[in-house]
Each structure stands twice: as C-alpha cells, then as structure tokens.
Chain A
Amino acid sequence: MKTRALLVAAALVAFTGSAALAESIQHGNLTIKDAWTRATPPKAKGGGAFVTITNNGNEDARLTGAVSNYAKRTEIHEMAVNDGVMKMRKLDEGVVIPAGETLELKPGSYHVMFMGLNQPFKMGEELNVTLEFEKAGPVDVTFPVMKMGAKSGKMHH
C-alpha cells in the first residue's frame, strides 16, 4: 500500500516535471526543445524566453529572429554579466548554431526578448512564438510560462 502510494507520488512528480516542458520539435535538421518563459510582474514591459536548439545537420544553422503578438517587438538578444555589469544587446545577425552543436538560450545568456509587453505573462499560460531560421525557415514553438523569477523551465528546484 505504502509502496503504491510512493509510486503514484513518484509518477506524479515525474509527470508534472516533464509536463512543464514542451515536447521537442523536429524542424529540418534542428531539434528544438525545453522552451520556457517566466511570468512577468504587472506593468513590466520586458520579458525573456528560453529554448534549446540542436543542429543535427552538417551545415551551420542560424537563428535569425522571432515573431510574436505579445509585445511591440520580439527579438533575439544576448546578455552577459562581466565585471559585475549586466549588458544586453540585440543580435542583428542572429545566432549561429554550428553543425552538430547545441545552442542554449538561457538565463544569463542568449534569449528571445519581448520589448514592450502588451500584457503580463501569467504562470501556467503558454506563449506561441515563431522562431525564424536562415535556411530551415520559420517554426512555431510553445513556451510554457513558469513562475516569476524562475531559473529554469523545470517545475522542481
């Protein structure tokens, strides 16, 4: 009985853990997975979204942009903290994903940037964002909204 309860609990944990992450998408030679974003505070005008892209092909790929209806502008940005200073820049040329390599858009690094949010992102919602690639073309990706200030797309800490 106890064992069964434990198994059910474990299954639930496993289920909620994985359910938080959108399924991986095959787009040409690209595998797109672990997309997520964060809930934003009221009146916040900026938001970032994150995703992992693996290039399984023999040629370099390039993420050139992103499109959504959630903000005045949706862009690919890079941010970095150097010597204690945070700097963020729009990447006009996008980001290259070398052949056989994985690009992680993640906190403290590359991200999809929403500038001028129309309304806050709420935890539990999902965003639909089109990612644009140089050769593979556009693909729609679902970004589940995690809690405010979340550090990853996984439910558990």
Chain B
Amino acid sequence: MNVAKTIRYGAWAAVAVLVAAVSAVTVMKFVQEDVPQAATVQIGGPFELVDGKGQVFTDKNLNGKPTLMFFGFTYCPDVCPTTLSDMQGWIENLGPKADDLNFVFVSVDPERDTPDVIADYVAAFDTRVVPLTGSVDQVKKVVKDYRVYARKVPLDDGDYTMDHTAAVYMLNGDLDFVGTISYQEPEETALPKIRKLLGS
C-alpha cells in the first residue's frame, strides 16, 4: 500500500467518523426536540365548533391532516392580524404543500365573533385559513381541552378585551399537540417546524 493510498483511506475514515458524529448529534437533537409535551399533559382532542358559514365543523373536518391552529379574536389590534399575516406568508412559502395542512383560526370571543364576522376577518388575509367560532360553551370546551389561556377583561363602557394565548398550535394528523410557533417567531425557524410537521 503506498503512502498516498493510506492518506486517502485515512481521510475517508475521518470523513466517515465525522458524518457519523454529526448524524448522531442531529438525531439526538431531533429526538430531544420531538419529545411531545402531549406525553405528559393531554392537550387537544375532538371538538365541535361552527365555521364561517355557520355550519358545524368538528375535528373530523380536518381530514387527518396536520393542523396549525391559532386562538384569537377580531377586536385584537396586533397579535391576531400579524399572526394571520404570518400564516398567509407560510401558505405562500409552502406552495402546493400548504394543501396538506389545515390552517385554523379559532375565536376565543364567540359573543362578538359571529360566523360572518370571523369569516370576513380571516378571509381578508387568506381564504385557506378556516375561521371557527361557536356557542360560548363550545368555545369554552375547546379552550379548556387545548389548554388555551383566554380571559375576558372589562374595559370602560361595558366593552372588554381578551387576554389569550398568542402562540400557534401545531397538531399532527392524529390531533396530538406537537409544539407551538410563538408570536413574532421569524420565518427562518417557523417554516422548518411546519415542514417537519408535514413530514410527521
């Protein structure tokens, strides 16, 4: 065996070790990130709400596809419009792959967000986002089952605002909670999360 060959073998061996090490770290990271919170706390589950046309919409209507779900309300000046705008950006970015996901906006303020109000609000951003509302009890159940924080806070003159969870929920095709995309999270981290959700 000549020297050149030895060096070449040595170099390839080094490359193999490096690749193995990198993959191991990547896999470990992947596994760590993937530890579902759902394993310890039950988040999510079946629901029954009403869509923008006033028709019954349940978890069955998600057709077993992964879902990005946001909880908001139409009086919301900031988090809700910017999140819907983000969703619209994700949909554009994903292209045809966006069809393999559900995008859902659930009102936590059913008293003011009637089906036609929430339908118009959401459609102004992207018609592929499904607007959902429901009776006070229906929404209350989803808020509870999905561990969403939603609280009515009185303002002057009988008006009120809603404190609410600002993150976008990621649910897999079995409706298991797999994580969130936080408010104002940049596309650079949000999109890989969504692609991973699509692959799961």
Contact = CB atoms under 8 A, between A and B. Distances in A.
Is chain B found bound to chain A in the same assembly? yes
Interface of A: 38, 40-48, 72-73, 77, 79, 81, 84-90, 107-108, 111, 113-116, 148-151
B78 A79 contact: yes
Interface string B50-89: 0000000000000000000000001111110110111010
A149 B165 contact: no
A41 B76 contact: no
B184 interface: yes
Contacts of B184: 81, 108
B164 interface: yes
Given A115-B155, A151-B82, A84 B165 contact: yes
B76 A149 contact: no
A99 B41 CA distance: 49
Nearest to A114: B77
B49 to A, nearest CB: 19
A93 to B, nearest CB: 14
A149 B125 contact: yes
Contacts of B75: 44-46, 115
Given A44-B121, A73-B157, A86 B183 contact: yes
A136 B170 CA distance: 49
A83 B93 CA distance: 28
B120 A48 contact: no
Given A43-B74, A148-B125, A84 B120 contact: no
B74 A81 contact: no
5 contacts: A46-B74, A84-B165, A85-B149, A108-B78, A149-B88
Contact of A45 (B81, B82, B112, B182): B112
Main secondary structure of the interface of B (DSSP, over half): mixed
Interface residues of B, number: 37
A113 B77 contact: yes
Contacts of A116: 159
Nearest to B85: A149
B117 interface: yes
Contacts of A41: 74, 81, 120-125
Q: Among A45, A86, A111, A114, which residue has the most Cβ atoms of chain B within 10 A?
A: A86
B7 interface: no
B77 to A, nearest CB: 3
B78 A48 contact: yes
B166 interface: yes
A147 to B, nearest CB: 8
A86 B74 contact: no
Interface string B76-109: 1111011011101000000000000000000000
Contact of B82 (A46, A72, A90, A107): A107
Given A43-B117, A47-B77, A81-B79, A86 B163 contact: yes
B4 interface: no
Contacts of A84: 149, 165-167, 180, 182-183
Given A81-B79, A86-B163, A43 B180 contact: no
B117 to A, nearest CB: 5
B156 interface: yes
